[in-house]
Structure 1
Amino acid sequence: MTPFHARLITAVLSLALMPVVAVAQSVSVRDDDTASPFPSNRHTVVDFGNATFRRVNLPRPDCAVRVSDCQDIDIINTLDGFSTQPRITVPFTGDIDVGSVSSETVFLYNLGDTQNLRGFGQKVGINQVLWDPATRTLVFEPDELLAERSRYVLVVTNGVRDAKGRRIVSGAALGGGRHRAEHHREMREGASAVRLGRGLAVAAASVFTTQSATGDLVKVMRRIKATNPAPVDFMIGSAGGAPVRAVFPLAGVAAVELQRQVGAAAGALAPQAVPLSALYVVPGAVGQIAYGRYQSPNYLATGQYIPATPTLSGRPQPQGTNELVFQLFLPAGAKPTAGWPVAIFGHGFTDSMFGAPWTVASVLASRGIATLSINVVGHGGGAAGVLNLTTAGGAVAVPAGGRGFDQDGNGTIDSTEGSSAAPPRSAISSRDGLRQTAIDLMQLVRQVEAGIDVEGDGSTDLDAQRIYYAGQSFGGIYGTILLGVEPSIQAGVPNVPGGSIAEVARLGAFRGLTGLALATRVPQLLNLPPSASLPVPFNFFENMPLRDLPPVVNQVPGAMEIAQVIDRWEWVQQAGNPVSYAHLIRQQPLPGSAAKPVILQMAKGDQTVPNPTSTAIVRAGGLQAQTTYFRNDLAVAANPAVPKNPHTFLTGLASPAGPTIAVLAQTQIAEFFRSGGSVVIDPDGPGPLFEMPLVPPLPEGLNFLP
């Protein structure tokens, strides 16, 4: 062979091998045994007892080392699908240009509800994009809440570019990998259903099924509706050791004191003030205070969780019965023929029925609306607490209806103790306490429907056809859940609600609770050194971007691990997330239910339930036109005495500048209920402090005032 021929053969071989070399150097999506797109149905098993026909089956790590991860996964593996607001991760074989990632190049495609194919063909974009260079992983969330109990295909197109500007190529995600045949087929069929833009091709795909979120409470609601409850009992007062009817004319009540049970011993009581003066905001509006007792089914097992049941063939089972005390404020004046219209009012986290409900009752009563309330699961102190009333007829003691208990065994009962699941089910958090509270309120609605006779004269005192709901903060959260599943409530006003609870805690004033949960994990997950500005348990940074911001490049060690844990918490808690129920209020009411008139009240710069968690409910329920936005920034600018955290603007009667604002917001609720949900007033009319409806765009930032 001559030198010329040798050079010619070398050149030909080089040309022939160039495409192979180029492909070998091109970037693709990884899909192997160590890294693959998530979520994916490859991490499920078939389960025909579930409405999704699947059950999650995540692999467990070394449980001797990663104790908390195993505890979380044990709960996750009882679920019938993936989160409806998942943190989606896509690993790559090389670096990519994160600027090429958009809702056109990466998106989700709805393959339909597993039961009726509803939603098929809906395209969902992406948001909250992050690139982690260390693991070459793209992270993002869907641009909107995904439909529950539905199949989605995650599509990554070749519109995504690598760091050198070249299109990524198809890899094992479509062409190979160690997939089970069933999952391999599902991916290909899902990808084939997608219609792409011009010039784009599918480079990778992953099919996953979302979990059932609302079905259990719907089943419980129907069970409650099928019952005929025993009448409520008002003979729960005690005067000189003799039973008395716990119904009191307000004019005859000189003083009220709550003896709250704060310790494990029945005698461990501490006095707590009750805002009696709040009932006189509108003088003469409130006529009577009453306390009664009713029975409610208890679905919480020991450990404060609701046991999982098959979502198609099963139904949640009561674990017993709760004996609950309710509080009722009746308007003064002549009772309407059908009885007083009634607003159930839900109190907030750390509060009780002896707080916020008292601050709104007067304005509601001035419009002829009675106010009804109970203590939330885990709230109000222990069951041995007593409400002492000094009346014209003498001293009367009434059970305070506390629902807290010494859950951690340290001898004290904290303000929210018992509202969340205990270890090893800590990931559940308040999910089932919230659902049980919604159940207790559904039972209370049923009691009103069956007839409540306050006076004991044989007549009904509350109008079963005019039941409304309002609630503040935590009360807005479980209230949104209630409004979604309870058909007999005619209208509602969730005030400063937010979801998920994991996001409320992470972003706001309860951030320390998130840090505490990370600090007590085994192994611990705090990733920043403690300092004066970041003491334990605040010394963590998860680097999870808010909506509508440019992509974030993560350079924080440990942030990815923390974000994964928080995402798992949110996944576990979706059945107790108000965002999951928002669409049932107006967009997709349950069969036999009508769309409800609602007002969602929120405040700019809320530091307790941050704006992005409230707007999550607004977006999920299509409620922007129903949202009233309190402009606390303008209120503070006009009057520096207004608190910079506007979270309690509805109930802030004790604030140096709050009463006027509070009464304005309460009046909007009262007029709304008086009209049966047909009249929505702007609380300050042409003034600037309230936007009704909220002027777009939605406030997706924190907006905290310095």
Structure 2
Amino acid sequence: MTPLSWRRTSAALVGALALTTGFSAVASPALANPVKATPVSVFPTDDLTVPDRGQLTGRRVALPTTDCGAPISCGLVQQLNQLDGFDLDPRIAVQYDAAVDPAQAAARITVQEARGGWRTGVDRVVWDPATNTLYAHPAEQLAPGTTYRLRVQGGPSNKGTQESFTTMSAPDGLLDLRRQIDSGSAFRSAGIAEPDLRVEGAFPATGTTVTWTQDQGATDVTAPVLIPQAATGGTVVFGSYLAPTWLTPDVTIPQTPTRDAGPAPVGQQRLPFVAVLPAGPPPPGGWPVAVFGHGFTANDTNVFLAAVANSRNGIATIGTNVVGHGYGPDSSYTVTSGGTTVTLPSYGRGVDQDGNGAIASTEGSSATGAAAAQSSRDALRQTAADVMTLIRSVGGTDVDGDGTPDLSGEDVTYFGQSFGGIYGTMLTGADPAVTRSVLNVPGGPITEISRLSPAFRPLTAAALQAAGLLNSTDPTRTFFQEQLPLRGEGPVTVTVPGAVAIQEYLARSTWLSRPGSPETFSPLIEPERVLFQIAFGDQTVPNPTSYTVIDAGDLWSRTSLYRNDKTANAANNPHAFLLQLPLPAALQGQAQVAAFLGRAEVIDPDGAGPVWEVPISDPDLLLSLNYPQPALRP
């Protein structure tokens, strides 16, 4: 049982009126003499599905398509109607024939497995007095492909009700891609005869300089690439490999019935890699390999920063670019070493999606057009599949041409920072070929990261604007007020017009994106295979989203907390600490990474010091944002 759920009983919600976080409004006081209201409709329900033998659940969603709102909202409904069930964290809606006390009503709602005794209450409660509707979410994430009973208990003088609903087979799509990779069918369909990893340049780290010419569309920009030579030592390597791709031009992977083997690849793509090898001769069979996953807006050269402790501990580090990253396809590296200068392609994956002549640092990593609500769902799934291919391609690689392998393909490990922690969670859950993983500052779902993070909240505003749902003129609130509570907070009563419509759009977008979201896959990870690193007060991937991912897999015993608030850098956003080498936390965090990847050992980087908690002392620390947001408070 998770740390929150074992303490939260349905009765604990009664009268709970927690302080707001700036994204919600305090609930109205409990009614002195609440009417004995009767529930008249409940969502989700399998009544809104149709039989479909092609689906693992035997069902397919069939939401009404009339009066579905703006075109983008109607398109969202049409995409949801391709799925084989409801969300793993569904937005429950219970409409009553009269007003209710929201806390008391929420205490009478439970979600229970139709076949089994598992059950949970509800949380994140919202009361809409305009329609007498109570909205909530299950207190714990539900299992995929499972039928549940949603029970609304009645009081002494009124009736209750119940409905059955089935959750979708959310992990199935990425699992299909992995099975295609393992069977070889993905490579055959993509026209790849065999793993084709090419070393295109290898240079001693010491004395080598690199500049990166970024193809930004109409403009080329040249920037230096930092290689911490003295710390890294060894050899830096540039190259590429072939991988099957399932992405269509709108950055989506076609939805197929879940009983199928998944869509066939639409082609192949040559992807970049950079690697750092430790100093000295490799052991027989080659250096053990750790794949590094870079963050949003970054690129594969972050490997140089991430490899310091690994290199000192005899681990080679390698990484590729995320979908839509690395700028345009004509980007290149200029490498100067030993008096010789060479130019190598960097295989940028960015594209000019909006047709404005410029390629931004992440352009091409999100869906476009009618599929925009899917956000980065399929780019994340494709990136996870790209790493699966890389893992299966590195074994036996001869970097220096002496006829002996420099990289081993045995027991490959993974670590990823930020976005790399997000798709790394998906990768680790879906692919048993990943021996161990360290997932640094991940969170989910992406829609919640975007909503809660000051850096990304404007992206949510842009999506809402496209759907015609902005409901504020106040730029300090990024032009929308959604009035949603965080997990563990008390009920919220809607007071702002348009807030309910925003809540519905966000819930449906999250539902659609769940197959490419990390919390979907964390329950598939065996605890001994993973270590999480979370930063207290992270303003980029807010702590409540990290809570969601870890709690979904009950992986609290595998969670390490970096207490930035107890350092001299407490005023700074700690999100990128792992790669900020001047900070003590960077090498401390990397030492923890190297110990776990290399020896399966979990160390406390500062011993008895206060900066690191290994494991986290109180998971509820992550329920709050843990940073001030005065501009967003009502």
TM-score by length of 1: 0.81
| Residue-by-residue CA offset, 1:445-490 (whole Å, 9 max, x unaligned) | 11124x3222233322222223110000000000000001111111
Using the alignment, how far apart are the partners of 1:643 and 1:368 within structure 2? 35
Match of 1:574 among 503, 510, 514: 514
Alignment partner, residue 330 of structure 2: 384
Identity of aligned residues (%): 41
Question: Segments of 4+ in structure 1 off by > 4 A?
Answer: none
**How far apart, in 1, do the equivalents of 2:205 and 2:195 lie?**
24
Letter of the 1:169 partner, please give it: N
Q: 1:401 aligns with which of 347, 350, 353?
A: 347
Residue aligning to 1:157: 153
| Aligned-residue offset at 1:315 | 1.8
Q: In 1, Cα distance between the equivalents of 2:432 and 2:294?
A: 21
2:74 corresponds to 1:70: yes
Provide closer, same or farther for how the CA distance between residues 541 and 279 of structure 1 changes in structure 2, counting only shifts above 3 A. Answer: farther
Other-structure match for 1:652: 580
Cα distance, 1:56 vs structure 2: 0.8
Question: 1:627-664 deviations in whole A, cap 9, x for unaligned?
Answer: 011111111xxx2x4552110111112xxxx5211111
2:461 pairs with one of 504, 515, 520: 515
- 1:529 equivalent in structure 2: 473
- Tell whether the 8 Å contact from 1:383 to 1:403 is kept in structure 2 after alignment: yes
Q: Which runs of 5+ in 1 are unaligned?
A: 1-24, 31-35, 113-119, 160-166, 171-202, 237-245, 587-594
Q: Would you say 1:144 and 2:175 are equivalent positions? A: no
Match of 2:27 in 1: none
CA-CA distance at 1:102 after TM superposition = 4.5
Aligned to 2:121: 125
1:44 and 2:49 are equivalent in the alignment:
yes
Instruction: State yes or no: 1:364 paired with 2:310.
Output: yes
Specify whether residues 291 and 487 from structure 1 end up closer, same or farther in structure 2 by C-alpha distance, changes over 3 A only.
Answer: same
Which consecutive unaligned segments of at least 5 residues does structure 2 have?
Answer: 1-34, 188-192, 630-634
Provide the C-alpha distance between the structure 2 equivalents of 1:457 and 1:42, rounded to a whole number of angstroms: 66
The question of 1:258 aligning with 2:181 is answered no
Q: Which residue of 1 aligns with 2:100?
A: 96
Amino acid at match of 1:436: Q
The reply on whether 1:466 has 2:423 as its aligned counterpart is no
Residue number in structure 1 paired with 2:523: 583
> Which of 307, 310, 313 pairs up with 2:260?
313
For residues 269-668 of structure 1, what are the structure 2 equivalents within 5 Å?
Answer: 269-276=220-227, 278-280=228-230, 282=231, 285-354=232-301, 356-449=302-395, 451-508=396-453, 509-521=455-467, 524-531=468-475, 533-534=476-477, 538-586=478-526, 596-635=528-567, 639=568, 641-653=569-581, 658-668=582-592
SS of the residue aligned with 1:490?
A: coil
Q: Distance in 1 between matches of 2:576 and 2:174?
A: 29
The answer as to whether partners of 1:224 and 1:446 remain within 8 angstroms in 2 is: no
User: TM-score, normalising length from structure 2?
Assistant: 0.90
Corresponding position of 1:703: 626
Amino acid at match of 1:704: Y
SS at match of 2:579: coil
Q: Which amino acid aligns with 1:403?
A: R
* Cα distance per residue 1:239-284 (max 9 Å; x no partner): xxxxxxx11122341x210001101x5xx311122112x243x2xx
2:229 is equivalent to residue 226 of structure 1: no
C-alpha distance in 1 between matches for 2:139 and 2:197? 49
**Aligned counterpart, 1:33:** none
Aligned partner of residue 462 in structure 1, secondary structure: coil
For 1:541 and 1:705, locate their aligned partners in 2 and report how far apart those are by CA, in whole Å.
18
Distance 1:38 1:517, change over 3 A: same
Q: Does 1:691 align with 2:623?
A: no
Whole-Å separation in 2 of the counterparts to 1:458 and 1:230:
19
Provide the C-alpha distance between the structure 2 equivalents of 1:107 and 1:337, rounded to a whole number of angstroms. Answer: 57
Is the CA contact (8 Å cut-off) linking 2:56 and 2:258 kept in structure 1?
Answer: yes
Preserved contact between residue 49 and residue 314 of structure 1 (Cα < 8 Å): no
1:576-620 C-alpha deviation (Å, 9 max, x unpaired): 11000001111xxxxxxxx64211000111111000100111111
Q: How does 1:228-247 map to 2 (within 5 A)?
A: 230-234=194-198, 236=200, 246-247=201-202
C-alpha distance in 2 between matches for 1:279 and 1:124: 53
Q: State the SS of the aligned residue for 2:307.
A: helix
CA contact (8 A) 1:250 1:289 kept: yes
2:596 aligned to 672, 679, 703, which one? 672
| RMSD after superposition | 1.7
Alpha-carbon displacement from aligned partner over 1:99-154 (angstroms, at most 9, x marks no partner)? 31345x21001124xxxxxxx22112211112111111111100111000111110
User: Partners of 2:628 and 2:258 in 1: how far apart?
Assistant: 44
1:300/1:436 contact within 8 Å kept? yes
Q: Which letter does structure 2 place at the counterpart of 1:605? A: G
Amino acid in structure 2 at the alignment position of 1:696: D
For residues 44 and 177 of structure 2, what CA distance do their matches in structure 1 show? 30
Alpha-carbon distance in 2 for matches of 1:83, 1:436: 21
Question: Secondary structure in 2 aligned to 1:45?
Answer: strand
SS in 2 for 1:294: strand
Per-residue deviation, residues 201-230 of structure 1 (Å, max 9, x unmatched) = xx1111111111111221221221223863
Find the residue that maps to 1:448 and give its secondary structure. Answer: coil
State the 1:231 CA deviation. 4.8
Contact 2:418 2:441 in 1 (8 A): yes
Determine the structure 1 residue equivalent to 2:30: none
1:85 to 89, 95, 98: 89
Length, aligned pairs only: 586
In 1, Cα distance between equivalents of 2:142 and 2:94? 18
Q: Quick one: distance in 1 between partners of 2:466 and 2:390? A: 38
String of CA shifts for 1:39-89, please: whole Å, max 9, x gaps: 1111111111000111111111347x6212111111111111110011111
Q: Secondary structure at the match of 2:281?
A: coil
Pairing partner for 1:27 from 20, 37, 41: 37
Amino acid at match of 2:79: I
The 3-state SS of whatever aligns with 1:101 is helix
Given that 2:199 and 2:399 are in contact with CA atoms closer than 8 Å, whether structure 1 keeps it comes out as: no
Q: What is the alpha-carbon distance in structure 2 between the residues aligned to residue 397 and residue 259 of structure 1?
A: 10
What letter corresponds to residue 89 of structure 2 in structure 1? Q
Amino acid at match of 2:321: N
Q: Which residue of 2 aligns with 1:175?
A: none
Q: Distance in 2 between matches of 1:644 and 1:621?
A: 30
Contact 1:490 1:596 in 2 (8 A): no
Q: Distance in 2 between matches of 1:687 and 1:26?
A: 55
**CA distance in structure 2 between the partners assigned to 1:313 and 1:158 by the alignment:** 42
1:286 Cα offset (Å)? 2.6
After superposition, the C-alpha distances for 1:353-382 in whole angstroms (9 at most, x for unaligned) are 12x322121221001111100000000101
Superposition deviation, residue 343 in structure 1 = 0.9
8 Å CA contact retained: 2:206, 2:233: no
TM-superposed deviation, 1:314: 4.1
Query: Is 2:438–2:597's contact at 8 Å kept on the other side of the alignment?
Result: no
1: distance between equivalents of 2:102 and 2:240? 59
Q: Distance in 2 between matches of 1:557 and 1:506?
A: 18
